[in-house]
Structure 1
Amino acid sequence: MKKLIGNLKGDKGIWSFVALLAVFSFMPVFSASSNLAFMNNGTGNTLSYLIKHAVHIIVGFFMIYRLHKTPYHYYRAISRILLPFVWLLLGYTLFKGTVIDGANASRWIQIPFVGITFQTSTVASIVLMIYVARYLSKTRETPITFQNSFLELWTPVGITLALILPANFSTAALIFSMVILLVFIGKYPLKYIGTIIVMGIVAFSFFILIVKAFPDAFPNRVDTWMSRIENFTSDKPDEDDYQIEKAKIAIASGGLYGNGPGKSVQKNFLPQSSSDFIYAIIVEEYGLIGGLGVLLMYMLLFFRFIVAAHKANSLFGKLLVVGLGFPIIFQALINMGVAVELLPVTGQTLPLISSGGSSIWVTSIAIGIILSVTKKEQEVAEELKEKEQREVALQKLIDKQLAEDEAEKLQDFNLENNHSIEEVSNPMDAVRNK
């Protein structure tokens, strides 16, 4: 174990908080999977779901380990190569996407012969963030202009968001917000950022008008968004969608200390209790203290991301940490906000805690790349420390040699003086003897 921990490079704080969240996830996932275990005439045995979640976590940590060993500057070229393939996957998902548990149509894609499903928009977000970080950090001989950046930066961003938006508004909005934050940190001109935000609002409004005019033109979930916003702003909850009500009951019954691990009642009635609404189950079983503890873990992880971005020795490294780390924290806050009815239902999972392989693996990929950045910082610091130690050792050796040379010169000088004194004193002794 000590040898294994010794092979883990990078920010130890990030490693620790990620491991704590992953280990804690076993308890609420094991408890909240009971409703899934009883679906379709199931036996109610949640052990298989726990084993499945354990496999997802183990594979996720293997991804983190392998990716954090790879120098992060390799991802510059990889993002440009992968972006067109991501567009093909998003287009295929939009028109041929599968359905998971009767919901979330056109978000998921299934790998043939394997049976694994994953959400392509989460993969697209990572590739796009790396691409934006690469563009902002590359060396230029001339200042950025809106015309050049629109073609090279905003056109790929627009294509990616256009393919995600019809099926997943919350993910598209989160990605767009993170791109805006990233270009702001990357010192992209503010007047151009304002122009892009206005263009984004206009494009989204035009999209809504097109969908309303031609509702069957292409797959979309605009009606679902509208109903969720109406339910959020209305005093009369929708009778067919009672997820928020069940989540509020779960949170209210948890109290300060909770009902205890595995003793949730609402997990049997709350849809998506092991994924989208797992935070409500956490508060019901572990109380307000448990809920705040989970929130604290994410905030501490957020703090470590800020420290890692500050310490990064290149602009590309700083932007990678921000572009890949901050969305993890904001997604967690959105998930918690939905559970406590601060936000409309969005379908965002709780990173590293909710069940689901694609969510865990994509988060693991982002964590692995961030740790690769911090590993490089650590290596540079170790090289500087070794260089300083070599310089100190060399200086000590030089000082020692100089001291020995001075001592030898002094000794020769003393011998010469003693010899001269003897030569002077010997004739005087001869005269006295006479």
Structure 2
Amino acid sequence: MKTIFQHIKGDKTIWAIVAALAIFSFMPVYSASTNLVYVVGNGSTLGHLAKHAALLIFGFLIIYGVHKIPYRYFSGGSVLMLPVVFVLLIFTLSQGTTIGGANASRWIRIGGIGFQTSTLAGLVLMVYVARYLAKNKEKEIKFKESLLQLWLPVSLLLILILPANFSTTAIIFFMILVVAFIGGYPLKYIGIIVGAGILALAFFVLIAKAFPDAMPNRVQTWQNRIENFSQEGGKDAYQVEKAKIAIVTGGTIGVGPGKSVQKNFLPQSSSDFIYAIIVEEYGLVGAILLVGVYFLLLFRIFIVLKKTTTIFGTLLVIGVGCPIVFQAAINMAVATNIFPVTGQTLPLISSGGTSIWMTCFALGMILSVSASKEETEEDILDDNPLDILHETLD
């Protein structure tokens, strides 16, 4: 055990939280996977559990590998990754995958595993925004220059994510605005960007309505989710109703691990609605404890922020760390019918490879910052992306 602790750096409490969430996830994923096996007819419960275990093991390898990288390399790395992510998003959209008649081109297949490119794009964008704000912290930001250097790359990637994944686009855009505000980007310019974003969304909706064959039923799906949020009937209303039954059934202490009934009726019980299954099996006590663990993670992220010596490190931790807790809050809010259905998973607990891996990559970055010695802003921001590429190839 001492040997293990000698090789891991950074905030040990974050390591413990991640390990606790990962270990806890096995029981609800195993329990909820019966829906996929007996209702959908997909594989076996042990097969789903083994797949989840493999994804988590690889996720921990990602955390370990990333946290060993000095975080200054992430600055230049984000510049190198922007064109890569741009190409991946175009390729993903070109797949034309449909689910239930709706455009859901979110995944590409890599080695037989579905990879959601929008999550990678969000991570790269957060680092890129942190880099830009840190480089211009001591300068007067000129709006026209920031449009080209900052908002053009951001808008291009968000436009490519939007057609298939509105909720992810909204979360990324919101977190970018938060990081921009904290990073000292002028508030009046942020207002202009928000207005432009609203106009762009309205324009997209109008185009989608005018040319429905281009994006089959996608805008209609968003509209139905908003309408079903306050009305009865429809697929989303059915999911929320089953989630409510699961939560009520759980009571104070739950029906017990593996004894959920609603997992057999609730679609996406092992991913989007896994929190409802957790409440049913572990009750209000388990639900509150899980919320407490995510709040503890947020608290430790702020501890890392307090100890960080550079502006880039601070903005990086905010940009990649807060979305993890924010996503968890959205998942829980959907299960408890506070938010409309969004399709966001519960970080480190829901089944699914991309979500787990990108969460682990973000955690690795945070741990890299917390493990760093005294860094200077010049050391970080003077890194040339091409130099980083040469070092990697060597």
Asked if these proteins are the same fold (TM beyond 0.5), I'd say: yes
Map 1:245-264; keep pairs closer than 5 Å. Answer: 245-264=241-260
Corresponding position: 1:165 with 2:162: yes
Corresponding position: 1:156 with 2:149: no
Q: Hey, what's the Cα distance between the residues in 2 that align with 1:218 and 1:57?
A: 34
After superposing the two structures, state which structure 1 stretch, 260-269 or 206-215, moved more. Answer: 206-215
Match among 324, 330, 334 for residue 338 of structure 1: 334
Residues 98 and 213 of structure 1, relative CA distance in 2, 3 Å threshold: closer
Q: Hey, what's the Cα distance between the residues in 1 that align with 2:363 and 2:137?
A: 29
Alignment correspondent of 1:122? 119
Match among 348, 363, 370 for residue 366 of structure 2: 370
Check the 8 A contact 1:97/1:108 in 2, yes or no: no
Check the 8 A contact 2:272/2:350 in 1, yes or no: yes
Residues 19 and 141 of structure 1, relative CA distance in 2, 3 Å threshold: closer
Deviations 1:12-54 (A, max 9, x none): 12111111111110110010000111245457x4111111111
Map 1:65-84; keep pairs closer than 5 Å. Answer: 65-84=64-83
When the two chains are superposed, the root-mean-square deviation of aligned CA atoms in Å is 1.8
Check the 8 A contact 1:167/1:220 in 2, yes or no: no
Alignment correspondent of 1:290? 286
- CA drift of 1:97 comes to 4.9
Amino acid at match of 1:217: A
Residues 51 and 190 of structure 1, relative CA distance in 2, 3 Å threshold: same
Q: Hey, what's the Cα distance between the residues in 2 that align with 1:73 and 1:239?
A: 46
- CA drift of 1:290 comes to 0.4
Residues 171 and 16 of structure 1, relative CA distance in 2, 3 Å threshold: same
- CA drift of 1:211 comes to 1.1
Alignment correspondent of 2:381? none
Q: Hey, what's the Cα distance between the residues in 1 that align with 2:236 and 2:176?
A: 35
- CA drift of 1:301 comes to 0.3
Q: Hey, what's the Cα distance between the residues in 2 that align with 1:103 and 1:254?
A: 34
Q: Hey, what's the Cα distance between the residues in 2 that align with 1:293 and 1:276?
A: 19
Match among 142, 145, 153 for residue 142 of structure 2: 145
- CA drift of 1:357 comes to 1.0
Map 1:169-188; keep pairs closer than 5 Å. Answer: 169-188=166-185
Check the 8 A contact 2:236/2:341 in 1, yes or no: no
2:106 is paired with a residue whose SS is strand
Deviations 1:334-359 (A, max 9, x none): 00000000000000000000001111
- CA drift of 1:380 comes to 3.7
Alignment correspondent of 2:392? none
Residues 272 and 61 of structure 1, relative CA distance in 2, 3 Å threshold: same
Unaligned runs of 5+ in 2: 376-394
Count of aligned residue pairs for this structure pair: 375
Residues 195 and 25 of structure 1, relative CA distance in 2, 3 Å threshold: same
Alignment correspondent of 1:300? 296
Q: Hey, what's the Cα distance between the residues in 2 that align with 1:278 and 1:104?
A: 24
Amino acid at match of 1:161: L
1:117 is paired with a residue whose SS is strand
- CA drift of 1:233 comes to 2.2
1:358 is paired with a residue whose SS is helix
Residues 264 and 102 of structure 1, relative CA distance in 2, 3 Å threshold: farther
Residues 217 and 254 of structure 1, relative CA distance in 2, 3 Å threshold: same
2:104 is paired with a residue whose SS is strand
After superposing the two structures, state which structure 1 stretch, 208-217 or 28-37, moved more. Answer: 208-217
Corresponding position: 1:20 with 2:17: no
Q: Hey, what's the Cα distance between the residues in 1 that align with 2:208 and 2:266?
A: 31
Check the 8 A contact 2:347/2:356 in 1, yes or no: yes
Amino acid at match of 2:21: L
Check the 8 A contact 2:52/2:351 in 1, yes or no: yes
- CA drift of 1:310 comes to 2.0
Deviations 1:363-408 (A, max 9, x none): 00000011000000xx349xxxxxxxxxxxxxxxxxxxxxxxxxxx
Identity of aligned residues (%): 60
Check the 8 A contact 1:97/1:107 in 2, yes or no: no
Q: Hey, what's the Cα distance between the residues in 1 that align with 2:82 and 2:32?
A: 36
Q: Hey, what's the Cα distance between the residues in 1 that align with 2:28 and 2:85?
A: 33
Q: Hey, what's the Cα distance between the residues in 1 that align with 2:42 and 2:156?
A: 42
Alignment correspondent of 1:6? 6
Check the 8 A contact 1:166/1:219 in 2, yes or no: no
- CA drift of 1:140 comes to 7.1
Q: Hey, what's the Cα distance between the residues in 2 that align with 1:345 and 1:115?
A: 28
Q: Hey, what's the Cα distance between the residues in 2 that align with 1:258 and 1:185?
A: 41
Amino acid at match of 1:357: G
Q: Hey, what's the Cα distance between the residues in 2 that align with 1:139 and 1:202?
A: 27
The normalised TM-score by structure 1 is: 0.83
Q: Hey, what's the Cα distance between the residues in 2 that align with 1:220 and 1:138?
A: 42
Alignment correspondent of 1:320? 316
The normalised TM-score by structure 2 is: 0.91
Corresponding position: 1:36 with 2:36: yes
- CA drift of 1:255 comes to 0.2
Q: Hey, what's the Cα distance between the residues in 2 that align with 1:207 and 1:139?
A: 32
Alignment correspondent of 1:351? 347
Residues 19 and 196 of structure 1, relative CA distance in 2, 3 Å threshold: same
Q: Hey, what's the Cα distance between the residues in 2 that align with 1:357 and 1:205?
A: 32
Q: Hey, what's the Cα distance between the residues in 2 that align with 1:95 and 1:212?
A: 20
Check the 8 A contact 1:63/1:365 in 2, yes or no: yes
Alignment correspondent of 2:132? 135
